[in-house]
């Protein structure tokens, strides 16, 4: 603290400490315009302020007013507010707007660039930050794709919403320094470029000529993550040292964000390809009946798990050696949850598809599957499942041939609303060399439904007490209320009731849940309504 002894009386120690600690600059002068005290922040912003001397520029040019005035001084933008205090004394309060802008930039950059794992959203955030804090226009260019195309995002300060587009990589060379920046050949160098050389595509329509151009590489994970070009209109001040430091900071943060997002995109693309076959299939239209299915995986971010269902339509044009058979639906559950279980479920579905080319007897199919599971090198390859062959009978009936291997037997919803359990039983697959099966055939009248489900439905713990198992009795009761419903509505309702039973918990403990229903008859409901 600089204070003139005697001129304003001694400042108590506590007051002095308070003033010294303030981030706002405070200057006090007496009625003659002579400075009596100035704290450290004030001395930093206006180095010539000195107690005992008259108030220097730019303080002397700011008259007392409540809103104050912004002045440029020593490369900083400073908001100065003057206020009369007692005894003709005058106080000035100084706020360093440059520092505020930089702090604000750092906060915003941190918030926006750390948010998304999508390369485009990151590029967009970087362009908007550039246009908000550094330039009249900012354009982010992502590295060329294998087709030699460059995706870009451009933001203009004061305009709503960024623009996006794609351009051939060759055209990037038209911006001085941009090819080098995109190739990672300019490490962190803030390149001021000749604005005269900017091609037409760089600037938006109606922007006017650029006065200053800054081209910066965005460093990534060892490989460049793109480049950012900042432009100020002709007549605006050039990018000074502070601007360039900020621009480099922006480019570095944007590069880190874009490259992390690109890695995530790459991984999730691979993931999507690998799991594509493991998702439940779209259910086909089958003449004389209607199918609906639902599958909820316990793992919330991925949609895959150990429960599965599938439909195998007969070969459209069976030729030599391929057996003829009716459509087949299956529903099953492999031991475990998550990705490991999903892989085994995928193998089971695939094996069955192949076996069906040569075999159509349901019990024989399960015996073959069982042998293949026992021979499987991976441990715990246990599977429970139901096979249901769907034959159309006379008078729009559907005949369902069922084999059940260690799985809860299907339920049947009759026309009068009663619910029956099918008396088919059999042993689990993958455990013992010999399996025993007691198959059954079901006759569905039009409007009647056969429901296949996994134990994730009946063994769901929840309910009013949170500790109760849903159980078969509740499922049967719920199914009975669905008489007359279209099969999609039926399956949706059962899933909804089961989800409500599980309650508002995070779902972490929940098992996979699968439902598949076959309803005999075509579209219309045959009820008494």
Distance CA 319, CA 309 (A): 27
38 or 485: CB nearest other proteins: 485
Contact between 338 and other proteins per CB under 8 A: no
Give me the least distance between CB of 107 and other proteins, in Å please: 9
User: Site residues for other proteins, window 72-111 (CB under 8 A)?
Assistant: 111
162 or 220: CB nearest other proteins: 162
265 or 476: CB nearest other proteins: 265
Contact between 160 and other proteins per CB under 8 A: yes
Give me the least distance between CB of 503 and other proteins, in Å please: 8
Distance CA 507, CA 300 (A): 8
27 or 113: CB nearest other proteins: 113
Distance CA 160, CA 162 (A): 7
Which run of H or E residues covers position 137? strand 137-141
Site of tokens 């993931």: 271
Among 2, 44, 69, 265, binds other proteins (CB under 8 A): 265
The token pair that represents 413 in the structure block: 């919803």
**DSSP calls for 451-479:** EEE-HHHHT-EETTTSSEE-HHHHHHHHH
Give me the least distance between CB of 520 and other proteins, in Å please: 15
Phi/psi at 246 (nearest 5 deg)? -65, -40
Instruction: Give the interface size with other proteins as a residue count (CB under 8 A).
Output: 48
Distance CA 334, CA 350 (A): 14
Helices (H), 291-433: 338-355, 362-374
196 or 508: CB nearest other proteins: 508
Tell me the sheet residues that pair with 212: 232
Distance CA 397, CA 412 (A): 14
Query: Quick check: helix, strand or coil at residue 35?
Result: strand
Phi/psi at 19 (nearest 5 deg)? -65, -40
Q: Are 212 and 238 in contact (CB under 8 A)?
A: yes
Q: Are 88 and 31 in contact (CB under 8 A)?
A: yes
378 or 527: CB nearest other proteins: 527
Give me the least distance between CB of 148 and other proteins, in Å please: 23
Reference 35, options 68, 97, 95, 82; nearest CA is: 82
Contact between 261 and other proteins per CB under 8 A: yes
Among 65, 145, 268, 378, binds other proteins (CB under 8 A): 268
Give me the least distance between CB of 116 and other proteins, in Å please: 5
244 or 262: CB nearest other proteins: 262
Distance CA 329, CA 517 (A): 10
User: Site residues for other proteins, window 280-319 (CB under 8 A)?
Assistant: 300-303
Give me the least distance between CB of 225 and other proteins, in Å please: 16
User: Site residues for other proteins, window 107-126 (CB under 8 A)?
Assistant: 111-112, 115-121, 124-125
In whole angstroms, how far apart are CA 370 and each of 331, 346, 385? 16, 15, 11
User: Site residues for other proteins, window 23-82 (CB under 8 A)?
Assistant: none
Per-residue binding string, other proteins, 483-502, x by CB under 8 A, is xxxx-xxx-xx--x--x---
Distance CA 139, CA 121 (A): 13
Contact between 279 and other proteins per CB under 8 A: no
403 or 482: CB nearest other proteins: 482
433 or 524: CB nearest other proteins: 524
Give me the least distance between CB of 196 and other proteins, in Å please: 31
Q: Are 232 and 136 in contact (CB under 8 A)?
A: yes
Give me the least distance between CB of 155 and other proteins, in Å please: 9
User: Site residues for other proteins, window 457-486 (CB under 8 A)?
Assistant: 463-467, 481-486
52 or 110: CB nearest other proteins: 110
Name the residues that contact other proteins, by CB under 8 A. 111-112, 115-121, 124-125, 128, 160-162, 261, 264-265, 268, 300-303, 463-467, 481-486, 488-490, 492-493, 496, 499, 503-504, 507, 523-525, 529
């Amino acid at each position: 603290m600089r204070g003139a002894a005697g001129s304003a009386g001694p400042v108590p120690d506590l007051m002095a400490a308070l003033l010294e600690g303030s981030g706002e600059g405070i200057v006090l002068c007496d009625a003659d315009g002579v400075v009596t005290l100035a704290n450290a922040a004030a001395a930093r912003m206006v180095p010539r302020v000195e107690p005992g001397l008259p108030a220097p520029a730019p303080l002397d040019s700011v008259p007392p007013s409540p809103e104050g005035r912004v002045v440029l001084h020593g490369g900083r933008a400073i908001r100065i507010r003057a206020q009369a205090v007692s005894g003709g004394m005058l106080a000035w309060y100084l706020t360093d707007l440059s520092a505020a802008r930089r702090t604000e930039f750092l906060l915003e950059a941190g918030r926006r660039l750390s948010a998304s794992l999508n390369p485009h959203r990151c590029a967009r955030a970087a362009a908007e930050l550039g246009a908000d804090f550094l330039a009249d226009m900012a354009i982010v260019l992502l590295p060329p794709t294998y087709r030699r195309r460059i995706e870009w995002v451009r933001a203009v300060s004061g305009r709503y919403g960024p623009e996006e587009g794609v351009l051939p990589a060759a055209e990037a060379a038209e911006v001085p320094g941009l090819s080098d920046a995109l190739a990672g050949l300019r490490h962190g160098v803030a390149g001021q470029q000749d604005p005269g050389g900017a091609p037409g595509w760089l600037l938006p329509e109606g922007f006017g000529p650029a006065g200053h151009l800054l081209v910066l590489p965005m460093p990534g994970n060892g490989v460049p993550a793109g480049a950012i070009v900042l432009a100020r209109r002709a007549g605006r001040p050039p990018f000074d040292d502070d601007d360039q430091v900020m621009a480099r900071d922006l480019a570095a943060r944007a590069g880190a964000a874009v490259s992390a997002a690109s890695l995530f995109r790459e991984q999730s693309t691979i993931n999507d390809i690998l799991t594509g076959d493991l998702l439940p299939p779209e259910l086909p239209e089958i003449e004389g009946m209607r199918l609906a299915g639902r599958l909820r995986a316990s793992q919330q971010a991925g949609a895959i798990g150990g429960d599965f269902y599938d439909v195998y339509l007969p070969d459209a044009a069976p030729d030599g050696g391929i057996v003829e058979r009716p459509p087949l639906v299956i529903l099953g559950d492999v031991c475990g949850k998550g990705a490991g279980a999903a892989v085994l479920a995928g193998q089971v579905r695939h094996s069955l598809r192949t076996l069906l080319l040569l075999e159509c007897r349901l019990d024989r199919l399960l015996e073959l599957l069982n042998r293949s599971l026992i021979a499987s090198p991976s441990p715990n390859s246990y599977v429970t499942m139901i096979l249901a062959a769907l034959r159309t009978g006379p008078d729009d009936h559907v005949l369902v041939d069922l084999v059940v291997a260690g799985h809860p037997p299907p339920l049947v919803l009759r026309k009068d609303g009663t619910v029956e359990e099918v008396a088919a039983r059999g042993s689990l697959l993958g455990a013992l060399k010999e399996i025993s099966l007691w198959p059954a055939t079901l006759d569905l009248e039009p409007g009647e439904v056969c429901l296949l489900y996994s134990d994730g439905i009946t063994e769901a713990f929840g309910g009013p007490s949170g500790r109760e198992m849903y159980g078969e009795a509740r499922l049967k009761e719920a199914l009975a209320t669905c008489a007359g419903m279209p099969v999609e509505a039926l399956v949706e309702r059962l899933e909804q009731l089961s989800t409500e039973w599980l309650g508002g918990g995070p779902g972490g403990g929940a098992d996979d849940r699968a439902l598949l229903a076959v309803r005999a008859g075509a579209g219309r409901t045959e009820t008494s309504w």
